[in-house]
Structures are given as C-alpha cells and as structure tokens.
Amino acid sequence: MHAGCPPTLGVRLLCLSDQSHTHTHGHHQMVLSLAGRAEFEVAGQGGEVSRMRACLVPGDAAHAFAGLGDNSMLILDLADEAAFDRAPAPERAQLGRLFDGPRYPLLDADFQHLLAYAGVELTRYGHEPGLSHALGGLLLQALHLRLCGPAPAIVRRPLDRERIETYIERHLGRTVSVAELARVACLSPSHFHQQFKDCFGLTPHQYLLKARLDRAVRLLRESPLPLVRIAEECGFSSQSALTTAMRRHLGLTPRSLRRAA
C-alpha cells in the first residue's frame, strides 16, 4: 500500500459461528484464518478461508459466511466510504485494485508466518490500538504486494556448504532426500538442486553416493565391523547394495578392499 495505513482500519479476532449469516456493509474487509476454517460466499462467488487462503470482501458486496468447527479469524475492516473518499489518491487507487472484486487469494508460507506472528501479538496486546493498527496495515500491505505489486526479485543466497556437509555426515546412515536438504538450506528443491550442483560440482544424489562410499571405504580399512553393519552405517539398504555400488563406482568389492588393507 501507500506509505501510511488506510485512514481507518479496524482489527478483530473472532470465532465465527457455524450458523450461516448474510449481510452487507459499506467498507472493504479482509478475512484471514489464524486457526480453523470458514465458508464464504461473496457476490455469488463461494470459497473457503483457511490458513492457506484469505477472503477479500469489497465494500457493499453482499456476503454469507459460516465457521466450520473451532476457528479463530482475524478480520480487517477498512475505511468506510466517507473516510475512503478523504484518503490520498494513490492510496484509493491501490485499495481499489485490491478490492476490485471478491477474491480468495492463496497465502504463501512467508505470509502465513507473518500472520501467525500478528495473531500472537494481537492476542496478547490487542487492546493497544496503535499495535493492532500497525499489524493490520502490515498484513494488508504484504497481501497487496503479492497480488498487485511487481514480481518479487529472486534472492540467490549462497549455500552454507559446511552446514550441508555436516548434516549429510550426521544422517548418512539413513535415507536423505533432496527435499530434506533443501529445507536445511531454506530453499525450494528446484533452486537448491542447481545451487548445490554449482557449489559442490555434483548433484545431491551423486554427492550422497560419494559420501556413502567414502565412509564405507574408511570403515573397511580402519574398523573390524562386519560388512552388513558397514552397509547399515553408510546408508545402503543391504550388503549386496554396498557391494554393487563399490564394484560399479570403485572397481572393487568390500572384501577385496578389506583384504588389501
């Protein structure tokens, strides 16, 4: 939104009844879920409010709603028509684009985190009008940027190589997925895969196999553990899987390597 918040902005936390209600009011409204779900129908368009989806109700749009079981809704009531007309022109234009019709926008993970934080603060300090107004304006601006703003720049953060290596080494005895490593790096799997390859020179699967084989070779040379135990320690499904991988990639079998050592 514009630098400031809307001229009037009310923030409420409500549990919506499971009894359907229908009404109309002269101000725009944004409905967000802190917990649970609710059904809405705005100007004939139905949808559901949940942690992953909001509802935008344009002023004067007739709407019906009902809670679905236990729920906690955060409701933002924007300026009434008179106050809206007194707002600066850029702000009126931005609000007009956001509320140009009923919407049920999807909420990304970052917005959900912001919403959860706002819910905690409002539950604790909702009696402070300055805080509730600021948090409401922040949520409104964040959603406006997602729906009406320019495409966000892609921030390419360098991988923390040491953190990834330490995590793999610590969990090498079990299956480690690319999605799991991406979460450790705080990246999406697709972005993580390419950055991992750029950083390590191998794909995640290739690196994991190399790490498993390196550990297996070290244990075969330095420990008296039986082969089946070494296979388990290195994350291979069986002794035969270890033997197959070593023969294919190292040209040796575990027994021949141990005898040479």
| Sequential DSSP letters for 191-234 | HHHHHHHHHHSS-HHHHHHHHHHHHHHHHHHH----HHHHHHHT
CB 97 within 8 A of CB 148: yes
Which pTM value belongs to this model?
0.56
Mapping DSSP to helix (H, G, I), strand (E, B) and coil, where does residue 30 land?
strand
Please write the tens of the pLDDT for every residue from 24-37: 888 899 999 999 99
Q: Say whether both 19 and 83 belong to one domain.
A: yes
- pLDDT of residue 80 exceeding 70, the answer is no
| Per-residue pLDDT, 242 | 92
Residue 88 structural domain = 10-148
**Of the candidates 62, 72, 81, the residue with the CA atom closest to the CA atom of residue 23:** 62
A 10 A CB-CB count for 208 gives: 20
**Of the candidates 22, 31, 20, 93, the residue with the CA atom closest to the CA atom of residue 61:** 22
CA-to-CA distance for 210 and 187, rounded, in angstroms?
23
Total count of domains within the chain = 2
| Per-residue pLDDT, 3 | 37
CB 78 within 8 A of CB 27: yes
CB 209 within 8 A of CB 202: no
Q: Say whether both 120 and 40 belong to one domain.
A: yes
Domain boundary among 113, 148, 183: 148
Q: Say whether both 27 and 129 belong to one domain.
A: yes
Q: Work out the mean pLDDT of the chain and round it to a whole number.
A: 86
5 part of a folded domain: no
* Rounded-to-5 percentages of helix, strand, coil across the chain: 50, 20, 35
Q: Say whether both 33 and 102 belong to one domain.
A: yes
Q: Say whether both 108 and 220 belong to one domain.
A: no
| Higher pLDDT, residue 82 or 153 | 153
1 part of a folded domain: no
Q: Say whether both 44 and 143 belong to one domain.
A: yes
36 part of a folded domain: yes
Backbone angles phi, psi at 16, to 5 degrees: -80, 135
Query: H-type helices in 126-188, by residue range?
Result: 129-148, 161-170, 178-184
- pLDDT of residue 115 exceeding 90, the answer is yes
Please write the tens of the pLDDT for every residue from 184-233: 888 888 888 889 999 999 999 999 999 999 999 999 999 999 999 999 99
Q: Say whether both 141 and 172 belong to one domain.
A: no
